[in-house]
Structure 1
């Protein structure tokens, strides 16, 4: 996952954090299927839970994550990650408030981590990762995100 090597403090992304990011941003892609296979799959998808989005992960994809941050009063922080300037940090508690307890709980379960560790690691990693995923201020489509996480 060379794309994120410089995005995360300390370099490489640990597998549990990658699982957490996948759950947050591309959810259904964690099944191991490529975006193309998922689109061609004729079996009915399970009904999305309260925390999932039909077109993204637990936060509704990257756009949904950015919307949640903006709705929680963290719009300037989120905009700094997408923009070309300096990335502003986010406090783990502020990130938790934006995502909500149900999403954090589900990410923690999928990643095999405590909720506190998920928030700590995501709050450290998300500014750089969102910055890497949004070159020139462009938010990628769900298909583009899925292909990045399925490499």
Structure 2
């Protein structure tokens, strides 16, 4: 995936990590998630936990909102802005995203939750930076098209 090749330290993004990033920002990466919900028979879900087109958190804006709500707005803003990207601690990222989201992504990717958080915390600053050229969050359909190419 050319856009993200230099987004993470060490080069290319491995497929499980790309699936994880897509799960956070693009619902289509979840391949039928809504049909695989035996534990939740009621269809209405809590606001912000899923979206047919925006991943588990309602897209890139939802991800940034989660980080801001968890007290990491300055870090998230640094990824969107044009300056230096600030790092995020894997535990802080896990707290911001919540255990349910981390568990679901770990299941989708086959990764251990701690390894997933370690890789996401390394990748997200560069990926969000690449998705937000000029310091602007793009419309969700543009983000989705990048993951579908």
Query: Residue in 2 aligned with 1:74?
Result: 72
Identify unmatched segments of 5+ residues in structure 2: 33-41
Query: Residue in 1 aligned with 2:20?
Result: 20
CA pair 48-112 structure 1, distance change in 2 beyond 3 A: farther
Give the length in aligned residue pairs.
138
State TM-score, norm by structure 1: 0.86
State TM-score, norm by structure 2: 0.87
Moved more, 75-84 or 2-11: 2-11
Identify unmatched segments of 5+ residues in structure 1: 33-45
SS in 2 for 1:59: coil
Deviation, 1:60, is: 1.2
Deviation, 1:147, is: 0.6
* Contact preservation (8 Å) 1:29, 1:146: no
Question: Do residues 60 (structure 1) and 48 (structure 2) align?
Answer: no
SS in 1 for 2:3: helix
Measure, in 2, the Cα distance between the counterparts of 1:4 and 1:56. 19
Aligned pairs for 1:81-120 (under 5 A) are: 81-120=79-118
Moved more, 133-142 or 84-93: 133-142
* Contact preservation (8 Å) 2:26, 2:59: yes
Measure, in 2, the Cα distance between the counterparts of 1:48 and 1:108. 23
- CA offset digits 1:52-85 (Å, max 9, x no partner): 1244101111000000000000000000000000
Alignment RMSD? 1.7
